[in-house]
Structures are given as C-alpha cells and as structure tokens.
C-alpha cells in the first residue's frame, strides 16, 4: 500500500472501507466537495426514516421523486427546510440552527454546482462548512459519516500546517488557501516573480501594466495576503482602486488621489475586521473542544452560543461586502465596528475618518462623478462602486449609457419604475427579470416594485415563486391587492403551500375573500380545509365551527 493513502469508511462494519491514494494537495474546493458528500451520506438514512413516517418524497427539478438511495445533500436539506416540524422532533437541534445550517450549506453547494467559485473557496467559508456539517452529521447520528468528517478535518488541518511550513521555507512555496491550488501560480503570469504573484490576480490587457499601480511595501505583503484570504472581494477591489489611483496620480489630481487612498484604507479595515472575527471564532472553537473533552459542558454550551453569534456576525459582514465594502461596518442589523469591539474583538473598528459614513459619502460624491465621466463600467463594478452609483443616481439612463447592464442595475437596487423612466419597455423589463432569475429572493423583487404578476409575465412558475418566498415575506398587516399572500393565492398557490411557508390562517382566508365573495366556492373550499381551532381563531361562532368541522 502506498504511504500517501488514507482509509475512508463506507459503513460501520470491519470491511466497510477503502483506501484513498494520494489524498494530499487537495484545494479548498475539493475539501468542500468532500464535506458535502459526508453530509449526503449522513442525511440519507434520516431522509429514509422521514419517508417511512409518511412525509412526501423530495422532488428534483423535473418533478421526479427522489429515493433515499440517490438523494444528495442539497435535496435532503431542502426536505429538512420544507418539513421542519418533523425534523425538529427527530433531530436534537434548535430550529435556528437547522435553518441557518440548511441555508449556509445549500448556498455553498449551489456555488459549487453552478461554477460560481472562480476565485476558489475562501478558507473561512470552508472552515464554517466543516463546523456546520459536523453539527448536522452529529444530530443525524450516523457514526461512520462522523468518523469520515473527523478524519477529513484532521487531514485538512495537517494539510494547512504542511502548506504553512512550505510557504515559510522560501520564495518558491505555493499558496493554495483559496481553493484553486493548480490555478494559483498561473494567476501570476509568466513574467511575474513570486512577490508580485502574492499580491493577487494579474491584470488583464484592458487594465494596463501591473507596475503602473503602487503596491504595498514588502513589510505589509504578508498582512495583505491574509486580508485577501479573509475577504475574497478585497483583492480585486483594492487592485482596481490602486490602478485608478495610479492614473489620477499621473494627472496630478491630488484631491482624487487623497480620496482613493482613503477608500483603500477602508477596504483594508473591512478585510481586517473579517480576519479578526474569523480568528476569534477559531480560538473559541479550540476552547470549546477543550471544554467538551474535559466534561465542562456548561462552558462548552456558552462557547457554542458565542461561536454561533460570531459566525452570524461574520456572515453578515461577508454578505454586505458582496455588494460594497464602503460605509463602515453597518449591516442594517445593528452590527458595527464598535459593537464588535465591545464583544472583546479589539481593533475591529475602522481607522480615522474612514469610520465616518458621512465622510465616506462626501468622498464618493467627489469620486463617482469623475469615474462616471471618464471611467469604464467594468472598472467601477470591480472597484465596488455599482451599488453606490445606483443609490446616488435617480435616473438610470446615464448608467446604461456608461455601459452597465439593466439587470446589473436592478440587482444593485434600481427599481422597476426607474428602469421604465430610463426608456426600457415591457419586453426589456421582462428580459431583466429573466436574467436575475435564480439570484434574487421575493423580498428583493418586492423592494424594487415588482408584483407577482410581473414575475409571472417574465416566466416565473408558481413553484419558483414559492421557492423564493420566505415566511417573513408573508407577514404584512393587511390583505390588500398588493399583499403578497393575495397575489400568490391569485396565482394559484394552494392553502397548504401558503401554510408551510408561514402564512397565517387569517391571512389565507383574507386572501381568498379579497378575490371572491365570502360564499364563493373557493372561499368555501378554504373553510372546508380548516380545523375547528383555526375556525375559532378566525372568530366564527359555535354553529359555524360545528358545521365545518363535521
């Protein structure tokens, strides 16, 4: 047997295993694929038990029922989300954890399956996937899958130490932390040395020569590499800002250079916040393992709660960074640099005046008009300015004329009315909705002024409309014509389909009555399906309850 081999178990029996040769030199994408495979094997028996208990089978995209022998992690976790009450009874886990685990793991699976990992899997995302998968497999109680994941975690940890040793051995060491080990050296380009390649992706022909933009001093190179690992959006954006800065430096535009330099500092502070929060989570995980091994379960429980809270904060930071890295650390949920520092994460606050949102708005009010006048759409997108451009410009026509696609503006926050005012017709708007299909949720469409009818006209099917609808979307106070429950009911959604998505019985009844007379067949059918308790909840008297409960 070759020395470079490991044992992978396929069951609990003594012969249920095989030897995997040459397990080393996996990249983070490979590790993520294996993590999700272990989740698949853990969820299959749980899914099989759910089917035997009478739950309907999960269906694939073609409407075919998926058997327990062939279901994968994605559809198994979708089944958990759709039948949360059942899985809360059979799995020893909280609803908050199951929802967050399903959302996170399926998001990572979708990025993997849809080839949205051009930059690889970030180390923090992979480590969080290990953590989420470990807890899912743990509550599923499938021992061999847990053993396999534990072995993979140890292999990954040893692999990281091995790479660190080689990285520190000299300039020839390779970095593979972003999940694209074979591709990482290629990004340097044939004419670049190791120090240049460590600074991030090589510039394309349209971006000008690499040496035109000022680079960090050698003493800061290691720190910048860590920032690039912590926040994938940091590298491309800071590279583009430096290239733009070099251009305005040649023009002797001092104010523009000062403004761009402040924005670069802010990007560095943003990535530093993410890095420090990730380090805090890793430290708490190690403390949790020690406490659990020493039977200090009370401390382990407290650490687990702290880890979950910080993981949520980290995800918020990363989600915001996908749209923009500017305007402080506000996420809309009360997460600020000062708040993080107050939890013991010293140094996460942003430096100097860059921490002032008003100051940043002033900077962007000077920078954006100049870039819009003489820059390119590609430059502004890569630098992270698109969302701010949409917020700043009331009219979308100048942005369309600058080269931005209407679907990009829509995703960045432009409303349907703004796109109509820019001259787009009905066919153009339908094309916009079709292009963003699969990348936005119902709450996003409604925030931009889309009605369910608009989405239907663009080709959204009823299952697709329901798929992007969350319980929070259905919690509005009234049942007027613009209410989502009313629109979905009118589009053909059944009472059960609305109930499983958190729609109240009262809202369903009001949705039916808003489109029909109270004695219409449709309303009577809704009443026929309600329980006595639900009829009482709607305020019907005893005679009506007894009539419909017979």
Kindly list the distances between the CA atom of residue 134 and the CA atoms of 36, 149, 156, 202, in Å, as whole numbers in the listed order. 10, 7, 14, 37
Per-residue pLDDT of the chain (550 residues; tens, 9 = 90+): 444 456 767 777 777 766 654 456 787 888 899 999 999 999 999 999 999 989 999 998 788 899 999 999 999 999 998 999 899 888 877 888 888 888 889 888 887 876 544 446 777 788 889 988 988 998 888 888 988 998 899 888 888 888 777 767 654 444 444 443 333 333 333 333 333 333 333 333 344 443 444 544 444 566 777 788 888 888 888 888 898 999 889 888 899 999 899 888 888 888 888 888 888 998 888 888 888 888 889 999 999 999 998 988 888 878 777 766 555 433 333 334 444 433 333 333 333 333 446 677 788 888 888 888 876 778 888 888 888 888 877 788 888 888 889 998 998 889 989 998 988 888 899 899 988 888 888 888 888 888 888 888 888 888 888 787 777 766 655 555 556 766 776 777 776 777 666 666 666 666 666 655 555 555 566 666 666 666 666 666 666 656 665 5
Which residue matches tokens 């943003």? Answer: 270
Q: What does the CA dihedral 350, 353, 355, 357 come to, rounded to 10 degrees?
A: -160
C-alpha to C-alpha distance for 177 and 532, rounded to whole angstroms:
58
pLDDT of residue 75: 92
CA–CA distance, 440 with 428 (Å, rounded to integer): 18
Measured CA distances, 128 to 79, 81, 101, 154, 436 (Å) = 22, 20, 10, 15, 28
- How confident is the model at residue 536, as a pLDDT? 64
Give the count of beta carbons closer than 10 Å to the beta carbon of residue 411. Answer: 20
List the beta strands (DSSP E) in 371-479. none
CB 501 within 8 A of CB 530: no
**Neighbour count for residue 337 (Cβ, 10 Å):** 20
CB-based contacts of 291: which residues, under 8 Å, 6+ apart? 297, 299, 300, 303
SS3 per-residue string spanning 76-99 = HHHHHHHCHHHHHHHCCCCHHHHH
Task: Kindly state the tokens that stand for 531.
Answer: 């329980």
Can you give the pTM of this predicted structure? 0.48
Distance set, CA 471 to CA 82, 233, 247, 407, 500 (Å): 12, 31, 49, 26, 9
Between strands 5-9 and 17-21, the pairing is antiparallel
pLDDT of residue 26: 81
**8 Å CB contact between 295 and 284:** no
Residue indicated by tokens 């081999």: 5
Give the helix/strand (H/E) hosting 523: helix 521-528
pLDDT of residue 518: 55
pLDDT at 72 (0 to 100): 92
- C-alpha distances (whole Å) from 435 to each of 283, 376, 412, 440, 542 are 42, 22, 14, 10, 52
Q: How far is CA 399 from the centre of its chain?
A: 27
Q: How far apart, in whole angstroms, are the C-alpha atoms of residue 126 and residue 33?
A: 10
- 400 CB contacts (<8 Å, ≥6 apart)? 406, 409, 422
Whether residue 279 contacts residue 257, with contact meaning beta carbons closer than 8 Å, is answered with no
For the chain, give the longest Cα–Cα distance.
Answer: 86
Q: What are phi and psi of 12, to 5 degrees?
A: -95, -5
3-state secondary structure of 157: helix
The answer to whether 107 touches 76, Cβ cutoff 8 Å, is no
Yes or no: say if 327 and 315 are a contact pair by the CB < 8 Å rule.
no
- Element containing residue 318 per DSSP (H, E): helix 297-323
Q: What DSSP designation does 185 have?
A: G
Question: How high is the pLDDT of residue 440?
Answer: 86
Q: For residues 276, 277, 283 and 288, what is the CA-based torsion angle, rounded to 10 degrees?
A: 180
Domains of the chain, residue spans = 5-167, 229-383, 393-457, 470-550
């Amino acid at each position: 047997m070759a020395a470079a081999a490991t044992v992978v178990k396929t069951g609990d029996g003594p012969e249920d295993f095989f030897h995997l040769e040459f397990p080393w030199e996996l990249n983070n994408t490979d590790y993520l694929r294996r993590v999700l495979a272990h989740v698949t094997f853990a969820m299959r028996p749980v899914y099989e038990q759910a089917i035997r208990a009478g739950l309907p089978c999960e269906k694939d995209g073609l409407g075919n029922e998926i058997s327990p022998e062939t279901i994968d992690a994605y559809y198994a976790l979708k089944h958990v989300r759709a039948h949360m009450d059942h899985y809360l009874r059979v799995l020893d886990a909280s609803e908050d954890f199951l929802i967050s685990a399903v959302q996170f793991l399926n998001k990572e699976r979708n990025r993997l399956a849809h080839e949205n990992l051009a930059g690889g899997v970030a180390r923090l995302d992979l480590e969080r996937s290990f953590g989420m998968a470990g807890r899912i497999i743990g509550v599923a109680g499938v021992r061999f899958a847990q053993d396999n994941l534990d072995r993979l975690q140890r292999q990954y940890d040893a692999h990281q130490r091995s790479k660190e040793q080689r990285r520190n051995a000299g300039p020839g060491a390779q970095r593979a932390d972003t999940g694209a080990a074979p591709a990482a050296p290629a990004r340097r380009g044939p004419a670049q040395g190791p120090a240049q390649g460590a600074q991030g992706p090589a510039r394309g022909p349209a971006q000008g020569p690499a040496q035109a933009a000022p680079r960090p001093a050698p003493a800061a190179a290691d720190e910048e590499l860590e920032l690039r690992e912590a926040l994938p959006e940091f590298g491309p954006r800071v590279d583009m800002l430096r290239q733009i800065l070099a251009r305005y430096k040649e023009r002797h535009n001092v104010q523009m250079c000062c403004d761009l330099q402040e924005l670069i500092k802010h990007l560095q502070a943003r990535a530093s916040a993410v890095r420090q929060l990730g380090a805090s989570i890793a430290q708490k995980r190690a403390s949790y393992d020690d406490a659990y091994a020493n039977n200090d379960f009370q401390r382990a429980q407290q650490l687990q709660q702290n880890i979950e809270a910080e993981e949520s904060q980290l995800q918020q930071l990363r989600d915001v960074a996908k749209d923009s890295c500017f305007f402080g650390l506000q996420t809309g949920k009360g997460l600020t640099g000062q708040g993080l520092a107050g939890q013991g994460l010293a140094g996460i606050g942003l430096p100097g005046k860059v921490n002032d949102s008003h100051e940043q708005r002033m900077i962007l009010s000077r920078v954006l008009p100049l870039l819009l006048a003489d820059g390119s759409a590609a430059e502004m997108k890569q630098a992270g300015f698109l969302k701010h451009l949409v917020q700043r410009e009331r009219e979308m026509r100048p942005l369309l004329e600058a080269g931005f696609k209407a679907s990009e503006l829509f995703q960045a926050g432009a409303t349907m009315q703004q796109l109509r005012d820019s001259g787009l017709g009905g066919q153009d708007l339908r094309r916009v909705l079709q292009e963003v299909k699969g990348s936005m949720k119902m709450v996003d469409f409604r925030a931009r002024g889309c009605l369910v009818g608009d989405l239907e006209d663009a080709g959204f099917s009823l299952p697709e409309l329901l798929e992007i609808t969350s319980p929070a979307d259905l919690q509005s106070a009234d049942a007027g014509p613009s209410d989502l429950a009313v629109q979905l009911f009118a589009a053909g959604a059944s009472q059960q389909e609305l109930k499983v998505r958190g729609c109240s019985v009262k809202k369903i009844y009001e949705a039916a009555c808003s489109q029909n007379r109270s004695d219409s067949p449709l309303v009577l059918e809704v009443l026929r399906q309600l329980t006595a308790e639900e009829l009482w909840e709607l305020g019907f008297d005893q005679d009506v309850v007894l009539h419909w409960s017979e």
